[in-house]
Each structure stands twice: as structure tokens, then as C-alpha cells.
């Protein structure tokens, strides 16, 4: 395991997790990386660590550059265990008193995770730490996406270590944006939609603050995925756009599950009705599409139409799962409607509608119900339902 030099005296010493497919409920079809960085200066500094089980991979990469015992400082930009899990073992290995610099909330949160195993030192927003030839500056980035989150910036090299911001769950042969090109953007969007969507207002504020500071940035190093060196401004500009939460005005999703294909037949007719009015519409079946992919599509959809069969007087479990997940992401600026087939009681479409309304989405139709199997008239009703939703979007 060899470290990769990413700038003069700065190394990528993180770990690649080729096999992770579920990251606390987010589907990571391409694995992920836990990025950590080593700065060789008068004070040798490690920025972030990795999941505990990848400690040896990181230590081997550090050892390919320098004896790990020579590390003077550790910076913890974020407490979540994919970046801090290795900290106790690293500190134990290199010397128990190595200072770990973190935000004020980081001090609290790292203590909650690891007790008194770490020599924690809180830094203030804007505080600087001299490494010798280089100066690290810290910026609090609360709730992007934990209370402890912060960025670190090397002033002389113009490198921003951005923690989870600008990251992507992607493991591949490439390490830089210019090596993968546009193909990285769907991964960055999925990351934003699933991890950061609800924090868009805070991110917008942070981006405004950073723009105001006029920091020259030549390289952005997030804690997951590829590093942005070719055009770091591009991902910042893309985040600025995403933070506006303005959906594509002609995109509509029909999200559903089905027991005996009746809700499915309804979904497909609703999609046809939407498409007949010029909408970019598609169905997403919740046992064929992972919730995190559905959310990625829902992120920039103007309307979401959610269908559930009634099971035991309630929602179908996958639909309940999806609604719970979506609600947590605090969707905004969307129209919504609900539908579903049923046997005898038929509560689900109303329950779905109530959930969507609770999220603050604008309901454009009463819930559409169909008993047992939709006949020709029932299907035409679904088609018209789709058309009316499209007209409401327009």
C-alpha cells in the first residue's frame, strides 16, 4: 500500500472500501473511499482517519512516506466513525499525547465516542495552526453535516479539506476529477441528495461565507471519493445550484410498490398520463430501485406521486420505509399526489397523502383508490389522474 502524492509534501493516505454496498441505508454500488491526508512539514500532520477496520491500510500508506511515530498533529474534521473510527488505534500506535485538533463540538462528540483516549484540542472558527512552512486554517461548518463538522485549509498550497462536503461514495482507479470527468457527477448528486439535502440552507450560508472570504482554492479534498483539482470551482458552483432546491419543471416520478400488480398497473397509467402532457415521467418500483436511488431522482423532480397497496389496514412496508427516509430529508418545492389499489379497507392512499402533506408538499389531487384490479375505466381514470397532475405542474 503506497501513499499517493497529491501536492508537494501532501499525500493521500486514505483507504478504499471496494466492497461496501450499504452505507447506513445508502446503496453504495461502487464502494467508497475514506480519505485521509498526510502533510509533511516541520510538524507532520494527519488530516482525518478511516473506518476502524481500515486502520492498517492507512498506516501502511503513511509508513510508505514516513515513520507514523513522527506524526505531530492529527486534525479531526468530523466525528462520524468512517473518519474517526481509527483514531484511538492510530493515537495508541504513534503516541498517546499526540494532539487531536477539532472543532468545539468535535471535542464534545469525540469525547462521547472515545472517552479520554484522545488528547483533544478545540479550535475556533478561523483559527490558524502553523505547521512550519505551511499554515492550516480551520472553518466551522456546523451541520454540514454533523454539529462537529469543520473544514481545514492550507493557505500556502490553497488546498481545502472539506470533510463530507463535495464527497461521493465512489471507489475506482481514478483519484482526481480530470481522470473520471462528468461520470463522477451522478455520484456527487446522489451523495448530496441522500446526505446533505436537508442541510441545503446551511450549505448555502457556508458557500456564501467562503465566497466572501475569497479563499483561492486549487484543490478540494473531500473525505469520500475523488479529489477536485481540475476545476474545483465547478463542484462549488454545482452545490450552489443544488442548494437552491429548484426542481426540473417537467420531471415527475411515480414511486410505488405493488402486491398483485394492480398498483403497478395504476402507476404505469399515471406515468403515461404525465408523459402525454409532455412530462419527463417514469415509474420507480420500491423493490426494484433502492430508496437512495429513488431519493436521488426525487431530489430534482417537480412532482412525486406515491402509490401503495393497502396491507393489513396500513401502508406497504417498502412505501413506509421510503416515506420515512424522504421525510427526514425535508423535501421542498414539490407537488405530490397519492394512489393505490386495495381489497376491502383501502387506507393506504390516504395515509400516503397525509405523510406527503406532513412533509410540506403541495397535494394537487385527492388520493386515487382502485379496488382489486383496475378495469379499462379504472385505467383511464389513472391516465387522467396523471394528466391532471401534469397540468398542475404546468
CB of 390 to ligand FEO, least distance (A): 38
CA distance 211 to 150: 16
Asked about 224 being catalytic, the answer comes back as yes
Q: Which of 175, 187, 224, 369 binds ligand FEO (CB under 6 A)?
A: 224
Nearest CA-CA partner of 72 in 50, 103, 35, 99: 99
Q: Which is nearer to ligand FEO, 166 or 256 (CB)?
A: 166
The answer to whether 246 and 333 have CB atoms below 8 angstroms apart is yes
Identify the bridge partners of residue 32 per DSSP, sorted by sequence position.
Answer: 17
Q: How open is the CA angle 34-297-23, to the nearest 5 degrees?
A: 25
- 86 SS3 class: coil
CB closer to ligand FEO out of 166 and 342: 166
Which lies closer to ligand FEO via its Cβ, residue 98 or residue 109?
109
Distance CA 145, CA 223 (A): 12
Among all residues, whose Cβ is closest to ligand FEO? Answer: 80
Three cell numbers, residue 360:
410540506
Is position 78 annotated as part of the catalytic site? yes
Q: Look up residue 159 and give its three cell numbers.
A: 488546498
The pattern of x and - marking residues 117 through 156 that bind ligand FEO according to CB under 6 A reads ----------------------------xx----------
- Whether 384 is a known active-site residue: answer no
Q: Could you say which residues in the range 192-221 bind ligand FEO, by CB under 6 A?
A: none
**What is the closest distance, in whole angstroms, from the C-beta atom of residue 221 to ligand FEO in the complex?**
13
CB of 52 to ligand FEO, least distance (A): 14
Give yes or no: 347 in active site: no
Angstrom CA distances, 25 to 162, 183, 246, 331, stand at: 23, 23, 26, 18
- Footprint (CB under 6 A) of ligand FEO, residues 50-89: 78, 80, 82-83
Q: Are strands 10-12 and 4-7 parallel, antiparallel or unpaired?
A: antiparallel
The nearest distance, CB 94 to ligand FEO, in angstroms, is 23
Question: Cell numbers at residue 95, please?
Answer: 503516541
Backbone phi, then psi, for 353, in 5-degree steps? -60, -40
Note the maximum CA span of the chain.
78
The question of whether 285 is a catalytic residue gets the answer no
Size of the site for ligand FEO (CB under 6 A): 9
Contact flags string 158-197 toward ligand FEO, x per CB under 6 A: ------x---------------------------------
Active site residues: 24, 78, 80, 82, 145, 164, 191, 224
Chain contacts with ligand FEO (rule: CB under 6 A) = 78, 80, 82-83, 145-146, 164, 223-224
Amino acid at each position: 500500500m503506497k501513499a499517493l502524492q497529491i501536492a508537494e509534501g501532501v499525500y493521500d493516505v486514505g483507504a478504499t472500501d471496494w466492497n461496501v454496498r450499504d452505507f447506513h441505508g445508502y446503496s453504495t454500488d461502487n464502494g467508497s473511499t475514506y480519505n485521509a491526508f498526510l502533510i509533511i512539514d516541520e510538524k507532520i500532520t494527519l488530516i482525518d482517519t478511516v473506518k476502524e477496520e481500515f486502520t492498517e491500510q492507512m498506516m501502511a500508506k503513511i509508513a510508505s512516506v514516513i515513520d507514523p511515530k513522527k506524526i505531530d498533529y492529527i486534525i479531526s474534521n468530523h466525528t462520524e466513525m468512517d473518519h474517526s473510527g481509527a483514531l484511538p488505534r492510530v493515537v495508541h500506535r504513534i503516541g498517546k499525547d499526540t494532539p487531536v485538533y477539532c472543532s468545539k463540538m468535535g471535542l464534545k462528540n469525540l469525547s462521547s465516542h472515545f472517552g479520554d483516549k484522545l488528547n483533544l484540542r478545540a479550535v475556533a472558527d478561523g483559527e490558524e495552526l502553523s505547521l512550519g512552512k505551511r499554515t492550516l486554517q480551520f472553518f466551522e461548518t456546523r451541520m454540514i453535516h454533523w454539529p462537529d463538522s469543520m473544514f481545514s485549509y492550507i493557505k500556502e498550497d490553497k488546498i481545502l479539506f472539506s470533510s463530507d462536503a463535495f464527497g461521493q461514495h465512489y471507489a475506482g482507479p481514478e483519484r482526481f476529477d480530470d481522470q473520471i470527468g462528468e461520470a463522477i457527477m451522478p455520484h456527487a448528486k446522489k451523495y448530496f441528495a441522500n446526505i446533505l439535502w436537508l442541510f441545503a440552507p446551511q450549505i448555502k450560508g457556508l458557500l456564501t461565507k467562503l465566497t466572501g472570504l475569497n479563499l483561492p482554492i486549487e484543490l478540494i479534498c473531500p473525505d469520500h471519493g475523488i479529489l477536485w483539482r481540475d476545476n474545483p470551482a465547478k463542484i462549488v458552483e454545482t452545490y450552489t445550484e443544488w442548494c437552491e432546491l429548484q426542481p426540473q419543471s417537467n420531471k415527475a416520478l411515480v414511486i410505488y410498490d405493488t402486491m398483485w400488480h394492480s398498483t403497478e398497473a395504476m402507476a404505469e397509467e399515471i406515468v403515461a398520463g404525465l408523459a402525454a402532457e409532455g412530462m419527463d415521467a417514469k415509474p420507480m418500483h420500491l423493490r426494484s430501485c433502492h430508496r437512495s436511488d429513488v431519493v436521488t431522482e426525487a431530489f430534482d423532480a417537480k412532482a412525486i406521486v406515491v402509490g401503495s397497496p393497502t396491507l393489513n389496514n396500513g401502508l406497504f412496508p417498502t412505501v413506509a420505509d421510503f416515506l420515512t427516509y424522504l421525510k427526514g430529508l425535508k423535501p421542498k418545492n414539490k407537488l405530490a399526489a397519492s394512489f393505490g389499489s386495495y381489497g376491502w379497507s383501502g387506507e393506504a392512499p390516504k395515509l400516503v397523502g397525509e405523510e406527503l402533506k406532513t412533509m410540506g408538499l403541495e397535494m394537487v389531487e385527492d388520493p386515487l383508490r382502485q379496488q382489486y384490479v383496475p378495469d379499462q375505466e379504472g385505467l383511464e381514470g389513472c391516465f387522467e389522474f396523471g394528466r391532471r397532475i401534469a397540468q398542475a405542474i404546468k
